[in-house]
Structure 1
């Protein structure tokens, strides 16, 4: 596995039609060129050219229509969607965003019970339409309990909808908006579709200054027929959360794409800049920064791709993806910020120049941890899985790599969203014991100490009410499944042991950093502080290994990619 270079990537793991979609998309952006890409970005030009390309090639139709509703080549295939996510991130977050919001808007439709509307949606996708997800509100954000959008039944059995939605991407041009509301009589949750072209749909404004359109809109006695209803009651609630399960996974891939382009551009700059008689890449601290950036980026991709395997093989009995998905959203995107920071420390003022891709990347990378639930919300979710994951392993099947073309039916039939604490996991130690490397061994010792901490000095009653304390504990826990999936995928895809050991060099340092934060917390007990200090470890230093990784995998990427002008 390697980081994306759109000029050399062959997509051999995909079937011919999917491979062609990826190559045509790359060709669209390379033909557009960096100058026009940046001009449109700075001038906040709506990406009609991209949407016209998508329409002509029927790309969203092929990638986002489940097989049973689409024609030949249509399926919802997470593997190829990962590649498309990554490509769009590589060229610019606004292009990814319109795809992402379409995915969210489609979720309640494909998960709903309205078969006629599903057939209509398939036709709309074939015509090149985009979609929107009307969930959050100005005063309540994504607090679904407090939703004020109301659906009121009229004597003739139809309804009217009244209320506003806020931070709704694509809501200016969507064919349909999936709107979350409550029945004004019963307080029952309900999803229905609205047409932005209707006179009772008010497009208030774009609330951001960007190429994308993120709308505030209002519905004023908007007429809703039974044929517009997607789901009701608990099913509507589950559709909302399960849609986010599907959508938030994509944020990690957007980060991976952004970081890949930024890395290649940053490396080129550093490798050709001569300071004090040396090229920048000859300075030891630059070699460390860029190697850290590359290994973190590769780890992001290894984890996210392995998560796809768990998503594609999931069932009502095997829901391990419910832990790995928020990790892709939370951990991968925050690692993306770290990658950009590391590169920026190397290229310095170059990162502000308006004609670079990096100038855009440095801004856009910040948004991803803050979408589809904040880092804090996803961390609180992750903590619910901690007890079963660490202390109650179950017998579950080993999951193979799942690159083969297939429709991912389960994603639209995930079932009830309650009972997360009962989710079962296989023994994570199987992954860690399957590889014999010095830094993996040290990392395992850190995990063992974390387990001792949780058994012998668990959070006290007051600490369980302290969100900040639990977040730090969550950070410590999160690195364990993160490392597990990295190892699993490294073995599946024959990643060199030098690379894996170098990845765990930064993993040990991250584990130690979070332990120091726990130690420093004002409310941590003496016993917790004692264990926190034991977690703090130093990676095994191996200059020969580091040099091999630097020379063979990092520096060797210089001059391998530059976007067309």
Structure 2
């Protein structure tokens, strides 16, 4: 079964420690129960019980310690395969628990990327003690515009430093003993990364800026004293550490969405399948079946893409940086698809989705935040567009990447190097994946892709359009669908996805491509040539009642009764 079911953890775990982590985490939440889970959510209760559990079981110490920093017999490894399974489970039970882990990943990233051995030793000690970490990057006035940081560090005559300034929207910054903080040198404007302690008297915890179980802090440093032991990076290394850490962390957002949507699907389907209206079971209504089928196909595609992106993260090297395209799509596309899945389910369960005792009411709120963390959809889309020319018109050859579930340590993620040179990154020929399968809706989708490529050559963006973010975002959405479909196809073969389910996935892909083509056609700036190509891209999926009925009976309807969280 591709989708997570806490009753049956069938996912491959390459070692006993990994399986133990997942099983104990599931057991913790199952014992907690939905009633307390929801009460803590509504009461904005700090998740101390969860953090104590992770401390007692050494979970963060195992999950967030790269192998080279681990202890003998500890089974510490930074393994993207293991990370995504853990992130999915946390998202399944509640975004606040995932968030505590996620911002700790971000907080510790610049430390593992540094050459500061003393800071690394301290981080390892804190992990072993059950500590959490924080990532001090964004600011109240500048958001994620780190070019404009107002965190100013001054070096004194004795060689020590003083830091002054504020950070905003920083998770875990109420308790983290190491807050990895980005700033600028007062005299040179050079970037600098250092660690601050949230318990230091010169560290002012201003407030929690959200009403949530999470503590998302505004904090200020007032002549905060620093020594060389607190400095992680200078100059370009500081800049690279900031962006490379986000590369590691933002991948997890898609997994939170997948977890949330999977739990919501179980709950919504059981509600509808056990409700009767007008002498019919709700799941007998044709429009309800369509909504559930669409939600299921989108959720399956989300997971297929995310799993395949993990393979490329693990295969990453200085010679293979394809992950830098797949990663922002994981962050941007999987999370927005998560919103779409929740919308579809909500259209079925309607007012039930507001009820305080339903997991769904929590999911409906939390799913909205994920596209807006670690850079907005717009920021990630602007990054994605940079890869389009090489992806379509300059393919390169790479060895085939297999499923990477062997449990190896992902050392490269903490040695990614300079963040420049994105326009030089090459990709393998997407035709390999698209020509590996033959199905009716895939054929329609391939025709849409070829028309899109023709538009890029026959009616490329005008100079004005090239500066118009609104126009480029729509171009990026269409390009993203091509890459999304490629990785879905690659993983459909690896996971042996049934042909009828794969064709149902491309049913919605055809519709989505048509939607974005219509949006581009309707742009005020679209040219006659672009409009003509857009009309060619607007296509109807191939209707197949037999395929649709089989997807419903063999896949969607079998979700009934599979999982219900204990009260």
> Are 1:438 and 2:404 an aligned pair?
no
Structure 1 residue 56 corresponds to structure 2 residue 52: no
TM-score by length of 1: 0.99
Select which of 500, 503, 519 maps to 2:521.
519
Query: Alpha-carbon deviation of 1:348?
Result: 0.3
TM-superposed deviation, 1:201: 0.3
| Pair 1:209 & 2:211 matched | yes
**Structure-1 separation of matches of 2:254 and 2:286:** 30
Please state if 1:197 is matched with 2:219.
Answer: no
User: Contact (CA 8 Å) 2:119, 2:230: kept in 1 or not?
Assistant: yes
Q: Say yes or no: does 1:232 pair with 2:227.
A: no
Aligned pairs, how many?
565
The aligned runs of 1:470-509 (5 Å cut-off) are 470-509=472-511
Corresponding residue for 2:466?
Answer: 464
Check the 8 A contact 1:178/1:194 in 2, yes or no. Answer: yes
**1:197 Cα deviation after fit:** 0.7
Contact 2:138 2:168 in 1 (8 A): yes
1:92-103 aligned at under 5 Å gives the runs 92-103=94-105
What SS does the aligned partner of 2:222 have? strand
Number of the residue aligned with 2:132:
130
1:356 & 1:215 partners in 2: Cα distance?
29
Post-superposition offset of 1:14: 3.5
- The aligned counterpart of 2:326 is 324
2:352 alignment counterpart:
350
Structure 1 partner of 2:189: 187
Report how far residue 324 of structure 1 moved. Answer: 0.3
Q: Greater shift after overlay, 135-144 or 6-15?
A: 6-15
Q: How does 1:191-340 map to 2 (within 5 A)?
A: 191-340=193-342
8 Å Cα contact 1:64-1:75 kept in structure 2: yes
> What's the secondary structure of 1:462's corresponding residue?
helix
1:450 aligns with 452
C-alpha distance in 1, partners of 2:38/2:140?
A: 31
Distance 2:346 2:507 in 1: 21
Q: Which residue of 2 aligns with 1:528?
A: 530
Q: What SS does structure 2 have at the residue aligned with 1:116?
A: helix
Match of residue 361 from structure 1? 363
Gaps of 5+ in 1: none
- Post-superposition CA distance 1:513-547 (Å, at most 9, x none): 00000001111001000000101111111111111
The match for 1:386 among 385, 388, 392 is 388
Give me the whole-angstrom Cα distance separating, in 2, the residues matched to 1:8 and 1:278.
31
Q: Does 1:15 align with 2:15?
A: yes
Paired with 1:186 and 1:317, the residues of 2 have a C-alpha distance of 34
Corresponding position of 2:84: 82
* Residue of structure 1 aligned with 2:408, choices 406, 409, 419: 406
Post-superposition shift, 1:89? 0.3
Distance 1:396 1:97 in 2: 35
CA–CA separation in structure 1 for the residues paired with 2:406 and 2:199:
40
**2:12 touches 2:405 (CA, 8 Å); kept in 1?**
no
Q: How does 1:418-429 map to 2 (within 5 A)?
A: 418-429=420-431
Task: Tell whether the 8 Å contact from 2:190 to 2:235 is kept in structure 1 after alignment.
Answer: yes
Separation in 1 of the partners of 2:429 and 2:399?
11
> Aligned partners of 1:61 and 1:435: how far apart in 2?
43
Distance in 1 (alpha carbons) for counterparts of 2:168 and 2:429: 42
CA distance in 2: counterparts of 1:79 and 1:225, whole angstroms: 37
In 2, Cα distance between the equivalents of 1:46 and 1:258?
A: 20
Q: CA deviation at 1:12?
A: 3.3
Partner residue in 1 for 2:119: 117
CA–CA distance in 2 between the matches of 1:325 and 1:336? Answer: 16
Paired with 1:393 and 1:323, the residues of 2 have a C-alpha distance of 14
Partner of residue 35, structure 2:
35
Query: Equivalent residues in 2 for 1:113-192 (5 A)?
Result: 113-192=115-194
Pair 546,13 (structure 1): closer, same or farther in 2 beyond 3 Å: farther
Determine helix, strand or coil for the equivalent of 1:354: coil
Any conservation in 2 of the 1:252–1:304 contact (CA below 8 Å)? Answer: yes
For the residue of structure 2 that corresponds to 1:430, the secondary structure is helix
The more displaced of 543-552 and 329-338 is 543-552
User: SS of the counterpart of 2:167?
Assistant: strand
Determine helix, strand or coil for the equivalent of 2:526. coil
TM-score (structure 2 length as normaliser) = 0.99
Gaps of 5+ in 2: none
The offset of 1:227, in angstroms, is 0.7
1:10: Cα distance to partner? 3.0
* C-alpha distance after superposition, 1:284-336 (max 9, x if no partner): 11111001001100100000100000000110011000000000000000000
1:45-65 CA-partner distances (Å, limit 9, x unpaired)? 000000000000000000100
2:127, 2:457 → 1: CA distance?
52
Separation (CA, whole Å) in 2 of partners of 1:120 and 1:149: 23
User: 2:60 & 2:95 partners in 1: Cα distance?
Assistant: 17
RMSD (Å), alpha carbons? 0.7
Distance 1:218 1:243 in 2: 22
The alpha carbon displacement at 1:493 in A equals 1.2
Distance in 2, matches of 1:298 and 1:119, equals 41
Match of 1:541 in 2: 543
Name the CA distance, whole Å, in 2 between partners of 1:89 and 1:539.
32
Give distance in 2, aligned partners of 1:479 and 1:543: 25
SS at match of 1:223: strand
User: 1:7: how far off?
Assistant: 1.2
Alpha-carbon deviation of 1:398?
1.2
Contact 1:11 1:19 in 2 (8 A): no
Q: Secondary structure, in 3 states, of the residue corresponding to 1:68?
A: helix
Contact 2:90 2:256 in 1 (8 A): yes
- Once the two structures are superposed, residues 23-50 of structure 1 have per-residue CA deviations (whole angstroms, 9 ceiling, x without a partner) of 1000000000000000000000000000
